[in-house]
Amino acid sequence: MRTITKERKILETKRLDLDAAKNRLRKAKTMESQNNAKIKPEMIAKEIDQAEQELRLAQEDFDRQIEITRLLLEGISAAHSNHVRCLNDFVTAQIAFYARCNQHMCDLQRELSTGANIS
């Protein structure tokens, strides 16, 4: 369970990184569309290229982390099903055990009642 919690926190961090990369690209494209005379077009193009590269890497990291987290969560479902099945088997065994105990006690009571009438 700790592993899943840790991986979910990592996923949240990757999502925040992805959001930051998207915002950086949006900001760079906004600078380009404003045709800011103070900033050289080459600098803006370089900033956009860097932002796009950062966005691609962040998206890959996020997708990879989604897959890791998804697999772990699917494992919980399988483990849960297995635990329920084992618990059901245990309860069935307990029912059979106590039914046999009850039968032995009833037999013993009958034997004691029969023996008490003889005396």
Percent of the chain predicted with pLDDT > 70: 93
Tell me which architecture the domain covering 2-118 has in CATH. Up-down Bundle (1.20)
Q: Where are the domains of the chain?
A: 2-118
Amino acid identity of 110? R
22-63: per-residue pLDDT in tens?
Answer: 999 999 888 878 776 677 778 888 999 999 999 999 999 999
The token pair at 114 is 């029969």
C-alpha separations of 113 from 30, 106, 107, 116 in Å: 97, 10, 10, 5
pTM over 0.85: no
How far is C-alpha 62 from the chain's CA centre?
Answer: 15
Position 5 pLDDT exceeds 60: yes
